[in-house]
């Protein structure tokens, strides 16, 4: 996963982040076990680019271990080329958003159902990559009135455990040990060296290291690693759904990726009967990073 070095070109902007948002350091308690009817939404961190209020806004949702900075360059390009408002969001347990033991897609969907109306951004166009794509799909299925159309980037409403290396990444990240009071550059070097035996792809290590932050001389991961590791199987799955989404949907797939298999297509068509599927040649799982121009062209065409 994340095999292509091009991913780092889009993600590198996140490395400037040093101190996480104070609210994220607090554990936000949620009522949302899977048995609860409605999880409690969390106040997500976001960045909103201004645009024409009469056009549906575009909302970018990142994947596991990502943050809103993953889409910074593309968000600016979409805003500039389409004139639309563009929102990038940190999912719960990621970036500068609060932490919670509830990592369910129901909870992540509820977070958006709470945020987007507050910002006056409904109905909106959801563009979600990987985990963010599953959040976008579930929100569209639960609240089609809030979603004008949907783009799922290299993900489907089917289990993805068999092609994921996330468990190994989490094991390596949890094993990291960095002395206090070392310079940031040295801390990054030490973390990189400790990750290398398990995470051999340089681009993957650089991506994971965007989550290394310093607080009062102590280095730690800004993602809620314990909760994500404990519920990884839940993140790799997708909540069973019966109702379909009636709006337009685009499934934008990496030509070199194994995340969306032909066996997933029937479930895509069942839940998203108006879905289009488009393959981006020479792109891995990170379609927007590997082939940004092709990604932008596909987005513009779908929004036209």
At residue 2, the pLDDT reads 38
Domains annotated on the chain, with CATH: 46-161+238-303 (3.40.50.1820), 165-221 (no CATH)
pLDDT of residue 169: 93
Alpha helices in 16-154 (DSSP H): 22-25, 72-82, 105-118, 131-142
Paired strand residues for 166: none
Q: Cα separation of 126 and 58, whole Å?
A: 6
What is the distance between the alpha carbons of residues 161 and 158, in angstroms, rounded to a whole number?
9
Confidence at residue 180, expressed as pLDDT on a 0 to 100 scale: 86
Given 94, 99, 129, 285, the catalytic residue: 285
Helix (H) / strand (E) element for 49: namely strand 46-49
Please state, in angstroms and rounded to a whole number, the distance separating the CA atoms of residues 88 and 72: 8
What is the predicted pLDDT for the residue at 281?
Answer: 96
Catalytic (active site) residue 129: no
What is residue 239's DSSP assignment?
-
**Which of 17, 109, 130, 257 is flagged as catalytic?**
130
226 is catalytic: yes
Does residue 165 carry a catalytic annotation?
no
Kindly state the DSSP code that residue 197 receives in the 8-state scheme.
Answer: T
Q: Which of 226, 231, 244, 265 is catalytic?
A: 226
Would you write out the chain's pLDDT as a tens digit for each of its 304 residues?
Answer: 433 333 333 333 332 333 333 333 333 333 334 444 578 999 999 999 999 999 999 999 999 999 999 999 999 999 999 999 999 999 999 999 999 999 999 999 999 999 999 999 999 999 999 999 999 999 999 999 999 999 999 999 999 876 778 899 999 999 999 998 889 899 999 999 999 999 988 988 999 999 999 988 889 999 999 999 999 999 999 999 999 999 999 999 999 999 999 999 999 999 999 999 999 999 999 899 999 999 999 999 999 8
Rounded Cα distance between 98 and 223, Å, is 10
Calpha distance 265→281 (Å, rounded): 19
């Amino acid at each position: 996963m994340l095999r292509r070095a091009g991913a780092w070109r889009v993600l590198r902007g996140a490395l400037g982040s040093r101190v996480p948002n104070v609210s994220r350091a607090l554990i936000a308690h949620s009522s949302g076990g899977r048995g609860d009817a409605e999880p409690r939404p969390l106040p997500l961190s976001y960045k909103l680019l201004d645009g024409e209020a009469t056009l549906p806004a575009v909302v970018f949702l990142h994947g596991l271990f990502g943050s809103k900075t993953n889409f910074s360059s593309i968000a600016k390009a979409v805003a500039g080329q389409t004139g639309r408002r563009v929102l990038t969001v940190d999912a719960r347990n990621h970036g500068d958003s609060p932490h919670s033991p509830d990592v369910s897609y129901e909870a992540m969907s509820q977070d958006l159902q709470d945020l987007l109306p507050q910002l006056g951004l409904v109905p909106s166009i959801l563009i979600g990559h990987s985990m963010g794509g599953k959040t976008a799909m579930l929100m569209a299925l639960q609240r089609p009135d809030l979603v004008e159309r949907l783009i799922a980037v290299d993900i489907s409403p089917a289990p993805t455990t068999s092609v994921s290396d996330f468990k190994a990444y989490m094991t390596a990240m949890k094993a990291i040990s960095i002395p206090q009071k070392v310079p940031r550059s040295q801390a990054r070097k030490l973390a990189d060296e400790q990750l290398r035996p398990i995470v051999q792809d340089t681009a993957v290590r650089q991506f994971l290291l965007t989550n290394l932050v310093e607080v009062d001389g102590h280095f730690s991961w800004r993602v809620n690693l314990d909760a994500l590791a404990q519920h990884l199987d839940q993140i790799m799955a997708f909540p069973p759904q019966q109702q379909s989404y009636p709006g337009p949907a685009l499934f934008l797939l990496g030509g070199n990726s194994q995340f969306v298999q032909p066996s997933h297509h029937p479930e895509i068509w069942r839940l998203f009967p108006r879905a289009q599927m488009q393959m981006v040649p020479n792109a891995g799982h990170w379609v927007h990073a590997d082939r940004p121009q092709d990604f932008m062209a596909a987005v513009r065409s779908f929004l036209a």
